[in-house]
Structure formats: C-alpha cells, structure tokens
Chains A and B, each alone.
Chain A
Amino acid sequence: MASTTHNPDVNYLNEFKGIGSWFTSLDHKRIGLLYMVSIFFFFLLGGIFALLIRLELFSPGAQFLTPDQYNQVMTYHGAIMVFMVIVPGIPAILGNFFLPLQIGAKDVAFPRLNLASWYVFMTGALIAMSTLFLGKVDTGWTFYTPYSIKTGTAATIMVLAAFVMGMSSILTGLNFIVTTHKLRAPGMTMHRIPLFCWALYSTAILQVLATPVLAITLLLIAVERATGVGIFDPALGGDPVLFQHFFWFYSHPAVYIMILPAMGVVSEVIAAFSRKTIFGYTAIAYSSLGIAAVSFFVWGHHMFVSGQSEIAGVVFSFLTMLVGVPTAIKMFNWLATLYKGNISFESPMLFALGFLFLFAIGGVTGIMLAVLATDVHFHDTYFVVAHFHYVMVGGTLMAVMGGIYYWIPKMFGRMYNESLARLTFIFIFIGFNVTFFPQFVLGAMGMPRRYFDYIPAYESLNKISTMGSWLIGIGFFLSLYVIISAIRSGAKASANPWGAKTLEWQTSSPPPHFNFETEPVVTAGPYEYK
C-alpha cells in the first residue's frame, strides 16, 4: 500500500495530472471538486436571474422585461437554485469530500457510481439549460398542473431534466447511506460519527425515499403533455390537486434535503470555534433523523388554499407544528454549546452565527405559515417568499459559505484571506436582511408573489429590497475572489489550523489519495475538547 512510501508533498490534487485525470477520477475528493465547480457555475447563473427579478421589480410597471420574460426568469431562478444548487449543494460538494474523511474511510462505498452521479447530474443540467434555446419554460419550478400541461413552452424538456437530476440525487443518497453503514473506521461507532455525517445520513434517507415519487410525477407530466391522459386534468375527471400531493411528497422532504446538511455544517463549525464539546450530541444527531421522519408528514401545508379538504388541512397544520420540535432542539443545543465556550470569530464562525440568526427568523415565520388561519392570509404573498429565502439562503447558503471557508484549508492545503472573508460575511449578511426583511412586510401588506408588477404602494420597500440584492451580489462575487485567490496563492495551511477534533483534520492538508496514511482507529467521540 502507498502508506509505507508516502511522500508528504504528494496529495490527491497532484498525484495524477492532466484534465483527463479529473473527469475519470473515482476519488471522492476530486468528484466533490467537480461538483463544486459545476454548482458554483449554476449558482452564478441562478444568481444572475435573481438579480434580474429584483431589477425588474425596482419600480412598478414594466422596466426591461415583458411579463412573459419575467415568468421565465422567475422559473429559471427557482429551478436552477433548487435542482442544481441547493439540493445537490452541500451533500455533493462538502458531503462527497468529507463524509469518507470524517468516518475514516478511504472512499465512498461505490466510487464508480459516485462519478456516474456527477455525469448524470451534468446531463440533467445541460438538458435543463437547453430549454433556454428551445422555447424556455414559464411554469415556475413547481410545474403546477393544469398550467404545466397546457403551456406551449418547453416544459416537457424541463421536467425530463429534473427527472435526470433526481436520479443523480438518488444515487448520491444511496451511496452515502451504504458508506455510513459499512465503511466506518474501526472504533467509529454510529455514536461517534461527526454531526455533519448524521445530517448527511438523514439527508440521504430523504433523497432515496422522496425522489422516486418526484420522478414518476415528472414522467406523468411529460406523458400528460404528450397524450393528455387526464390524471391531473380536471376537464377529463383528473385532479390537479393530486399533482400537488405527489409533487410535495417529494418537495417538502426536499426542503429538508436542502437544510439538514447545512445544520450539519453549523454543528461542526460551532463546536470547532467554541473549542468545546458539543452540547447534546445525541439530541442533535437524532433530531436530524427526527426532522427527516417528520418531513414526510407535513407536505400538505403547501396546499392549504389549493382545494384540498379542510380535514386534510387541519391534520397537516397540526403535523407541521411538530417540525418545530426537533428544529428547536438543534437550536438550543447549539446555543448551549456556545455558552461558556472559548469562542473566536473567524469567518466560518461568523457564517454559522449568521445561520443561527437567520434560520431562527425563517423557522419562526414557518410556524406562522403552518397555522391554517394565518396562512390563508399569507399564502402566495411575499411573506412566503421571504420565509423560504430566510431558510434556503439565510440557512443553507450561509452554511455553504461557512463550510467552504472552514474546509478550504483541508481541501486545498491553503488558507484564505481572513479579513476579506469577513467582509464577504458582512456584505452577504446585511445584504440578505435588506433584501428579504422588507418582503415580510410586503407580504403582510398583501403583495402577491410571482407577479410581474405591483401597485405603487409597495414601491419603496421593493426599492430597498432590490438594493439589498446588489449587496448580496457583491458579497458572493467577493467570496468567489477570496476562494480563487486562496486556491491560487493562499498561505500554506497546516493539517489542523482550527484545532478541530474530527477525523478529517487528523490527516495532512490536502489529504493523500487514500485519505489516511494508516487506517485510523477511533477511541473517542468527535468533539472531545479539553
């Protein structure tokens, strides 16, 4: 084995050379980086669409888009951000890279499948992008029937693209479950795996159980468009609300596919920068599984005003409240970890604390929306838009940024520029609140979401919101610069610059091809700080 003759200058980045060695690599670390480059690109694209939306809404009336173009821009923003950025984001980039490292494995269980899932993902993404030139799509990312089966745009291609990307998501999930079950190092019991792994594990279960239903639903949309079967078409005795049931059976758990890994990142970062054993390891670990389980029972809260029965609405409203329990357990355990910790405020920690703040707002407004009576008022207003952006962007993207800064030293063996990174946090955090907090107010005032235009009464808050989006844009472009310059010319990083205790920091930075010089033997939990 390579371990006996290991040269410290040889690592996974330079052991094999040439561009071809990247596209055929079965190394989970390299595949993680393939995902990173592609997802960053899609994030840029989705972000541009977001800026266009805000720019159009800067003033009432048409600015530079027609109403049809606005619907398309909104659809692409949603579809790209959901299917190509946030759903694959943390599991495919950071999960691929760090799940095996954190449990002391040499790779994921099925390396070929892992590479295949990247190719499948890229195929789906390219099919999705092809719609930009083949008639565009204006259904919104939810493909609600009956509009999606009637629209003349390229919706069929888009649903097939989402189907293909769903397959990629399933393969990643399947791989991670088996990896977690079977490839843990000696002594690495389930109760010693880092909380990030618990989060990925719970996410993977959701990916495997929920995505197939989305797959068949999307296929049915395609069939419906081709032959008009009528399953979702009321004119033929079908039921458009049934589409929403099938769709949200996937897409509500998918919301947790998006947020659970972010929670995992936050657990790691908070423990590392408080230099303290995490409070309530078991509670946080099992609350991940708890959130995953509960997520399957609450999908109907997306449908309170869709025409589902009142009884179903009441049942879903009660069940939705349950999500608050495991989520709050996590929140309180993170706060308890901070308490009397030896805290330092490097940028990963800033992003993690930003996560706590924004996710709390996103979560609590979620409870407001879970209440049947208030939701009837808030439904389909900007209140909902603000709510899920606080969770998806304020939660997930903050964790992505924090996680990337936290792990850049390990991934590339180089440090990033700390003061610039803090500056990105300031831009993103402030910009985010300036953009989305006014949207809560706009929603409460009754401004409907997805509309191309609005009445003049909403103008000033919309102007503030659009200006905030520029701050976020600057923040992310700056982050891109910080990341690239760290990779190109950052100072050399030690094996464990943060003094963290999890296993990935016990190997060199960047790690060797097979991750560890010798197979690690684990004798303690992941957060045994003195």
Chain B
Amino acid sequence: MSTNSHSHGGGHVAHHFRDAEHQFDSGKQGIWLFMVTEILMFGGLFVGYAIFHSLYPKMFAEGASHLDWRMGSLNTLVLIVSSYTMAMSIHHLQKGESNKAFTKLWITVVCGAIFMVIKAFEYSSKFQHGLLPGHLLDVAKTHAEHANLGMYYGFYFCMTGLHGLHVLIGMGLIIWLAIRTKRGEFGPDYFLPVEGVGIFWHIVDLIWIFLFPLLYLVG
C-alpha cells in the first residue's frame, strides 16, 4: 500500500501521472473501455434474442403478451429521472456545490430502489403465474400455446436479471459516492469516481432503453 501513497499536499494525483488532467483523462478512458465490455456482454444476449425472435416470432409474441407494459414504462421513466439526477450531481460538484450533489446522488439511489421494487412486483407476479424460465415454466398453469415458451422467459429473466444486478451494483457505488461527497472528498478539482460511476449508471439506463421495447412492446 505504501507504494502508491505519493499524493502531494491534498491533491489526488497518483505518482505515475503528470497532473490531475492526465489522471482524469486516463481514468475516463479506462471507464469507457469498461463500458465497451458491458455493451458486448449484454450484446451477446441481444444477439441471441434477435436470432430466436426471428425464428419463433409467435412464441415471443405470446411471451410478451404476459408482460405489463405499464410497469415497463413506469420503470423507464424512473430510470430517466435517475440518470438526470446522476448527471446533475456531477454538474453540482463541478460548481463546488457538494451539498446539492449529495442530495442528487441520494435521489438517484432512491430511483434505483423504486426501479427494483417495481421489478420485484413484476417478478413475483410472474412467479405466481408460473411464468418461469426454461423447464421451470408451468405449462399447465400458463396454458402455454408454445412448448418452448420457457425460452422467452429465459431471455426475459436473464436480461432483466443481469440488468437488475447492474442496478444494484450501481446503487451500492452511488451510496459510496454519496458518503465520500459528504466527507468533502470531491470538488471541482477531483470528481473522477463520480464521473465514472455516472457513466456506468447511464449505461444501465441505456440498456433499459432497448430492453423496454424489446421485451414489453415488440415481443
């Protein structure tokens, strides 16, 4: 640990960077590279969905007909608002208004929580109706017209589950940011972690923007 403690007089610049700007650019590039991996990981599921949707359009339509688009739309709005507050928290930090940033971060966390609660209601309703992935799907209870309806719900639970996991991770990270903001660790000179988590949170929003029509509407 002693190897990296080379920051001078209150600055946050690690020893191997020239200055704060250099560190910020490097960190941000790292974050973007990480986002590329997120896109490709979720992308694999999207490609699978597209292929099987085109092979079994009727089965997918049957699956989507069981989803409640009102829940999906509501969650879309919740995530849009959370993305806005996340972006605003950086705006406030850049202007040195760390109290406002702190509030915005917490609103973001609350939005994430609302999203997860709505999701939980959706999931429990699916569970009750036996709409489960793969061979767990209760064909008798759901009166499934297609024997492989479980595949649709496999995609549904994998995609929303992986997305929900990202929401949870994002919430955890934002809480951590809020605590550090309260401690006064961020300001106009140093807000790279907020910027990074922000980009991560927007990616989560971005993926939902596609998941919503894909799962709830087009189906």
A→B interface (CB under 8 Å) = 16, 21, 24-27, 105-107, 109-113, 170, 174-175, 177-178, 181-183, 208-209, 211-213, 215-217, 219-220, 223-224, 227-231, 236-239, 242, 246, 513-514
Contacts and interface: CB of A to CB of B under 8 A. Distances in A.
Contacts of B135: 227-228
A216 B44 contact: yes
Interface in B33-74: 33-34, 36-45, 48, 51-52, 55-56, 59
A182 B1 contact: no
Contact of A177 (B27, B33, B59): B33
Nearest to A110: B30
B16 A213 contact: no
A212 B158 CA distance: 15
B170 interface: no
Contact of A27 (B3, B30, B36, B150): B3
A107 B155 CA distance: 42
Interface in B143-168: 147-148, 150-151, 154-155, 158, 162
Nearest to A216: B44
Contacts of B43: 212-213, 216
Given A175-B30, A208-B33, A230-B134, A111 B4 contact: yes
A292 to B, nearest CB: 15
Chain B CB within 10 A, most for which of A25, A112, A220, A227: A227
Given A223-B154, A236-B148, A213 B44 contact: yes
Given A183-B26, A238-B151, 4 more contacts: A26-B1, A209-B40, A219-B158, A231-B155
A231 B154 contact: yes
The main secondary structure of chain A at its interface with chain B is: helix
Interface of B: 1-4, 14-17, 22, 25-27, 29-30, 33-34, 36-45, 48, 51-52, 55-56, 59, 132-136, 147-148, 150-151, 154-155, 158, 162
B154 A216 contact: no
B40 A178 contact: no
A105 B16 contact: yes
Contacts of B151: 229-231, 236-238
Chain A CB within 10 A, most for which of B25, B56, B132, B158: B158
A27 to B, nearest CB: 5
Nearest to A100: B16
B4 A212 contact: no
A24 B1 contact: yes
Contacts of B16: 105-107, 109, 111, 183, 514
14 contacts: A21-B2, A110-B30, A174-B30, A182-B26, A209-B36, A211-B37, A212-B44, A213-B43, A216-B41, A220-B158, A227-B154, A236-B150, A237-B52, A237-B148
Contacts of A238: 52, 148, 151
Nearest to A15: B3
B148 A227 contact: no
Contacts of B51: 239, 242
Contact of A230 (B4, B26, B150, B158): B150
B168 to A, nearest CB: 16
Contacts of B154: 223, 227, 229-231
A24 B1 CA distance: 6
A231 B48 contact: yes
A111 B3 contact: yes
Contact of A216 (B25, B30, B45, B59): B45
Contact of B36 (A21, A105, A208): A208
B3 A174 contact: no
A178 B33 contact: yes
Contacts of A177: 29, 33
A25 B3 contact: yes
B133 A227 contact: yes
Contacts of B30: 109-110, 113, 174-175, 178
A182 B22 contact: yes
B150 A228 contact: yes
Contacts of A227: 132-136, 150, 154
Given A229-B154, A231-B48, A238-B151, A112 B33 contact: no
A287 B8 CA distance: 42
A106 B150 CA distance: 53
Contacts of B3: 16, 25-27, 111, 513
A382 B131 CA distance: 47
Contacts of A237: 52, 55-56, 59, 148, 151
A170 B36 CA distance: 11
Contacts of B45: 216, 220
B40 A212 contact: yes
B34 A174 contact: yes
A106 B37 contact: no
Nearest to B29: A178
A223 B135 CA distance: 11
A381 to B, nearest CB: 31
A223 B133 contact: yes
A24 B41 CA distance: 30
Contacts of B162: 219
A107 B15 CA distance: 9
A242 B52 CA distance: 10
Contacts of B40: 209, 212-213
Contacts of A246: 44, 48
Nearest to A109: B26
A520 to B, nearest CB: 14
A178 B26 contact: yes
A495 to B, nearest CB: 22
Nearest to A237: B148
Contacts of A211: 37
A175 B29 CA distance: 10
Contacts of B55: 237
Contacts of B158: 219-220, 223, 229
Contacts of B34: 174
6 closest Cβ pairs, A-B complex: A229-B154, A216-B44, A212-B40, A227-B134, A228-B134, A106-B16
A24 B198 CA distance: 29
B150 A242 contact: no
Given A178-B26, A237-B55, A208 B136 contact: no
Contacts of B29: 177-178, 181-182
A183 to B, nearest CB: 7
A27 B6 CA distance: 13
Contacts of A112: 4
A212 B133 contact: no
A514 B4 CA distance: 10
A501 B215 CA distance: 58
